[in-house]
Amino acid sequence: MNFSAVAPKVFKAVLALDAAAREGLDPVLLELVQIRASQINRCAYCLDYHTSDARRAGETEERVHQLAAWQESSLYTAKERAALALTEAVTLLPRGVPDDVYQEAALRFDERELAQLIALILTVNAWNRMNVATRKTPGTP
């Protein structure tokens, strides 16, 4: 299904949310979050898209490759680790967001940044679900 053609109002609304969520966030951090959520959600289209964007934003191959095992890697900053932990907790929401994960993120991000980060995580999860549900694969429009 070409979701943007079949449901253009919904697609444009998600695009608008995506644009608003990105405001004020570091481009590399933004892509790390989107890649990690896409790994969890097994969205091949979004993985392809965001790994390419991460490289364009200056991300290294080594950090992209180690992202699936970020907890065991020494390549990520404390701020990035807090964002990735929050990404996993929000993406796997039935487990809830543990207090320590939220508190660590709140220490690393000011309140506006944290709100933007949460919005970004919500948005990438919407894209993942849209693309997985409609069987969108890399290389398709």
Q: What is the pLDDT of residue 94?
A: 81
pLDDT digits (tens, 9 = 90+) for 31-55: 999 999 999 999 999 999 999 999 9
Separation between Cα atoms, residue 87 and residue 35, nearest integer Å:
10
* CATH architecture, domain defined by 9-134: Up-down Bundle (1.20)
Separation between Cα atoms, residue 42 and residue 137, nearest integer Å:
11
Please indicate, yes or no, whether the overall pTM of this predicted structure exceeds 0.85: yes
Q: What is the pLDDT of residue 99?
A: 95
Assign 96 a pLDDT band (cuts: 50, 70, 90): confident
Residue 103 has pLDDT above 90, yes or no: yes
Separation between Cα atoms, residue 27 and residue 131, nearest integer Å:
22
